[in-house]
Structure 1
Amino acid sequence: MLEKLNILNWFRSSKPKPSKDVLSEVFKSKYERFKELLDSNAELSKIITDMEQKLLGQQLFGMSYLRSQSARAVFHTLRMVKSLDSLSGHKYPALFTILEEINQKIKDDLGKRKESPMTEWILPYSRVTKEMVDWVGGKNANLGEVLNLVKLPIPEGFAITTQAYNYFLAANDLVDEINRIKIELDPDNPESINQISENIQRLIISSPVPHELGKAILYAYDHMMKRIKAKGSGDFSTSVSMRSSAIGEDSELSYAGQYLSMLNVPRDRLVQTYSFIIASLYTPRAISYRVSKGIRDEDIAMSVACIQMVESVASGVAYSRHPYKILDDNVLISAVWGLGPYAVDGVITPDSYKVAKDAHRTILQTEVSTKPVQLVSNPDGGLMEVPVEADRRDTLCLSPEQIRSLADYAIRLEQHYGCPQDMEWALDRDNNLMVLQTRPLHLEIPERQNLAEMDTQLSGYKVLLEGGEAAYPGVGCGNAFHIHKEEDLTNFPEGAILVARHSSPKFVVVMNKAQAIVTDSGSVSGHMASLAREFGIPTLMNVKHATATIANGTEITVDAYSGRVYEGKVPELLSLQPVRESHMKDTPVYETLKKVADSIVSLHLYDPKAPTFTPQYCRSLHDIMRLVHEFSYTEMFTISDYVSDGEGCALKLAARLPLDLYVIDLGGGLENPGEKARKVEVEKVVSTPFKALLKGMLNEELQHQKPRPVQLKGFFSVMSEQMLSNPHSADRFGDRSYAIVSDKYLNFSSRVGYHYSILDSYCGKTVNKNYITFSFKGGAADDVRRSRRVRSIAIILQELDFSVEVMGDRVDARFQKYELPVIEEKLDMIGRLLIFTRQMDMLMHSESSVNAIAAAFLRGDYHFDADSSNGANASRQTA
């Protein structure tokens, strides 16, 4: 037997061995390009999702937003293309040309929108509308919209425009100086970010506000005070609140609360406070956010809202519908004495009111709470807490008429913007109710105790599932139709609910028929979620057990607001389907968004197996993103082809495994084993995916697995087939296996017995980056045995939720976009499978072995003997 094994050495290759430095550089370079590709893929997904939200037409945005997001989208697409070009050895030069053509179309579409230049530094709210969002920011534009189009009262105030901001920078020569300071920025070093932030903010604050600009701000303030006095109020505050209203604030270009707002600012501090708010563009958080998102400084600008400081008797918030109870379409109002932050921040339990949306604004419910303290303006500036008079602590803040008026405000705002609203309000000393701010109300997944309350409201309906994430909210009802494989889509019936294990952009072919989509897994920023939003289909993803719980053909109602799936039809939910109106749809900037989105957001490449899945058929950045991401898996999958013997570059793993396993660390995959080390212990492995794989390979049950009883005829058949029929693969027998690792990455090329497999995986906290690709091929024995082996492995992988393809004696599998613990669990199972299959060829003596062996593995019976289970009594010998 040993002589037969030594014969295989005759077929070994005599390729020269690359040096340690060369191999190390090849691996690290490829991995760095791959990480850049994954990072840009994640960022581009967020940009596309954000633009899709704007396409709903319910959020304010301007041309600055479009230009910035378009530039970022092109930047990240180009970064992905460059990374793939480097990974692949320059296989796809056409992608650069196609990207440039798409980029030019985007530029042309953006260039057709000509805006009138803004020259004014100050605009009173009586002149502000949503079309001015590029000059006054979203916060100011919303207030102008409420006053001038919805015709609701707001406090007196004015906007300091972005033109004033640009003038401030130019007058002090700040742009070049800020850029000079930023040259020293190290985005990976928090201390560097803090130092750069401090230097830029000090530069801005110490620069004088130009005299003419300061004069204009004070002039606007004085005229505002005259208007307030002319209204007849004898007692009013002379202070203002100064709030940031940056371009793109509260969109993907920033995040809520990123910039500075100051309350109770007196006249003599107005000009200095203005420079403080401008400086907040360069806080450490803001700098870090823009650097990580690829947002340029030229795409941001600061407008400031100067608003009358209302001496609020009471204040609070109003929701135009319940934020998480889908059945509760009533207005909810909360109120506290004094200023509103205590209501919003939860310092005081507010009074609460529920009001019907009927013609009379009927008050359905009032709840009074004890309110021992309140927030008021401090005469010296800022705010302070004072006690509430004893006789008011347990009394309602609002009269019935005031409650009805506020409910009416919320309803009118919802009607105007075409979606539920979250409104801040205040009641002044003259009993005037005012809107301080309004924004779209983001409906939330209800907590478990609130779901229990919904059960009582929907008695008689069985809840099949709850949880998951809504890619697109809404309600859909129909018969469940399971999609197991691509061919099932051809039979998808009109009006059904698509139910599948994995999300897939291939589902687009039936989205015009589907009432809703429910998947066990998937990401709300993935390709299918993007298509669901484009088609407006209620979609629940990452529901975990949908395919196991929902029987095929069952009538169900999908509630993609509360994250629930009900058995049968639920008319109460279906009747609450809102009619979505686009608040922005008639504006020129929205029309420009639609044109630009066609070149950025639209997806036309759904199926990687289709003949059209090539660069030539890319018509949008989303197409290029999808294609490059898919091709990158293939390029990283073959990274192990660069491994020869790798002596000096790899460390041998000291583990009880039936293979010669060497580890190459790209960085962060191993604890420092020492410069002269030649071996590494399993305990030194810190790579997340490699640890998970080794956990499976070192499973105790498999470690105690006895040698398989095999037929001598079968064994010699395997040997002769390997040596004579396929001599070029003979070097795989007994060859080394390699694990190329980092902290989150693994490329594992395994030679176990006669089989050759490759596993490539990324395993981190970002769901969209996570994947496993696995290929099992080669092997020994005749064609019949190899076919049985492959089909058995395919059954196992399919049951483990992998998408699987079998071609000849090779099986390819993919598992992607799952949370880290799930990826680790699947890698554990792959590790077990690699050990379990090491003598599978010799067990595949009959057709019944295919399912029997797969079933044994899946139930954890790793000592299973296929021949014994079939009652075979052939002569045997251990191998």
Structure 2
Amino acid sequence: MLVAPPPVSLLERLRWLFGHRRAVDAESRERVMRVFRARYAHFKDLLDSNAELARILADMDEKIAGCTLFGATWLRSQATRAVFHAMRMATALNAISGDAYPALPGVVERINADITELLESRPQATVEVYALPFAAINGDMVDWVGGKCANLGELTSRVGVPVPRGFAITTRAYYAFMEHDGLMGEIRKRLRDVDPQDPESVLDVAEDIQALFAAASVPPDVADALHDACDAAFGTDADAGHGGTPLRLAVRSSALSEDSHVSFAGQYLSVLNVSRDGVVDAWKRVVASLFMPQAIVYRLHQGITLDASAMAVACMEMVDSVAAGVLFTRHPVDLLSDSMVINAAWGLGAAVVDGEMEPDTWLFSREKAPRPLSRNVACKAHRLTPGDDGRLREEDVPVAQRDTPCLTDAQAEELARIGMQVEAHYGVPQDVEWALDPAGRLLLLQARPLTTTPRGEARTTPLIEGYPVLLHGGEPACPGVGSGPVVHPANAEELALFPEGGILVATHSSPSYVLVMQRAQAIVAEAGSITGHMASLAREFGVPTIVNAPGAMAALPVDTQVTVDAFSCRVYQGRVEELLPLREERAVCLRDTPIHNLLKQVAALVSPLNLHDPKADNFTPAACRTIHDVMRFVHELSYAHMFRLSDTLSDAGAVAVEMKAQVPLDLHVIDLGGGLAEVDGPYVWPEQVTSAPFRALLDGMLDPAVHQREPRPVDMSGFLSVMSRHMIEPPTMHGQRFGDRSYALVSDKYLNFSSRVGYHYGVLDAYCGQTMNKNYITFQFKGGAADETRKNRRVRCIGIILESIGFHVEVRGDMVTARYQKFAATQIAERLVQLGRLLIVTRQLDMLMVDEAAVQRFADNFLHGRYH
């Protein structure tokens, strides 16, 4: 029930009587209200944009923590929205104030220009040419030629190990192509529709972008330069190779960020068996592979922006591979091993890196003159060879050769020695691709840092009794434990529908599975190797993975609930609770990645607050350096201009009236129609409120049970925290001053309530009528006078209370946002009563948030009616 109004003193009555102007006529008041309603429309836009900006700032703060997945598309979108809402606020303030701040829109435009410059920046390719021979390249030229070409050039020009002849197509050529006919702009539009959590959206966007590439033309000067580079690298008659056989080339990706601190293993395209005349088309296909589905997802999860992934390309002479494979100069899985690993297969090395078959395996000691430790020769019934169309084809290996090692002992030792030489040059373990040509020469096709070691410590697990073992065997590509239902995705469409928490089981490993690695609990493949591309990716993503496990498809039927133990290579039927504690959380971590660093740069133009004291001389549009400054400036001045109408139009009488009630607020009310009854003077009392939502809110605020009758116990540390903030910050931080007015804009069914007390504020917007679908409450509470920890505890406490009474709640930093919608009027009113109580009892709650236990303790007390 509403409390009766307090008696008004005689002095107060006299002040009102002698200061009161004659009553205005209805026509004059309606004229004022028309002007006010027009200003209110702008003011409502301003408040809406202020709320949106607060959400954007909180969202950026959350992403800066580095534990939430986002990409450049999200960053561009949020930055664009922030600028839009800042401009909308500036425009609304000028509409309300009679264009009192004409320079303010220009300030927003200047900030927008700075943000745009950051978002459009790209690595500066100072090289002027479209192609460079390997012999002219070294490791310092990565921004021009990408990681793969830089390493191939380094191996050629400085290390002196054998590398095929070739040249790099530089990032200058890439930029010329992408800017030709607006291709990059169209691609960015498509990328806006990518949802990192929805693989199907990634497939759709990737398909659209590939269509753009198919229709795109290559600038003529770029095409001419690539043909000239072929002639310079391989002779004027580029149709002849060694021994007079037709020259065939491998055109391979060398994107920026590839082969660096992240591998991009198998994410981009290589086109093989390419003729001189086919180089331009092959290069175009490799550039287009930047936008294959798995590449888009991989960049998002690794925090790599598109601008940091410009595609350079390696164009090198094809090796007619007798055998090929991978060398890891340190064991990628066994943390206790001090050995290097060589995998080899007949034909092209893709059979190894793509996990098509089990390879031969050698272990060597890590010494300057490596010693063989073990050799395992697999049965290699098939091999991959390049087809005339540039695609791989599988052919049978002669029966007599299937069980024969791909390398002689001397060749394996020579390869191990080369591997140690490469590691010694770079100073870190290396992942090396190699090939053996018909003349018996070992050639290095690629070298990159080996960064894919598994997390955690090496361990073995015993057999768990009581659970059927469905599969035992294989190799642990990434040790760990996962549990869930078995899924057999047969194609890209089924992969796009992969469920969260599933166990991916396949005939062979594939780097395309990166599309769902964030969803998969584990991966089991019948074929594959621990040095393959998928194994490297699984270790990067921390997905427990078993490869080279024959019979997995038959042993693990679809939808069977299983537990994968990738430590000991066992798969159990059911959920093995004894193993689940060994699961590791796979949280997103984007800290210090390129996209995270770009976010910090953009956020520096959006989030910091430099304007503190509205009374200071520098509280001006010219002093606004960030979007938050503009937001602060507009929000601070908007109320003053909005509610000055009754002063500037003196012949029309007052519009805002002061609420006389036992609440600790300087509360003023503006009636938009039907919210107050029989008002005649500068004051209004609670019983004159006819607005349904405002009446309910006041009912809670005036509840005698929430008003403190005795001094509240003070925690000294909380008190000192508040006092220290008073001393180091002006009492106007974040737009709240002690003694600021609070306003209620009301109609019969509508309430917009802005409570501004001390260092915190609450904003409440509500509709309470008979149409259930229109009814809602939105509430924001932010700030406080104590340190960040206590402020955060207070908003979490408020969040617990609101969530307990049915609100949808978000807590970020020192702000809580809550929404309650589409309920009956009685339920809306009940929540508003609770909010009224909450606004009163939480005013100085941050001082009492002495520890974590206080958060839940106070929430429980409030919900049980114990307000003190």
Report TM bin, short chain: 0.3 to 0.5
What is the TM-score normalised by the length of structure 1?
0.46
Larger radius of gyration: 2
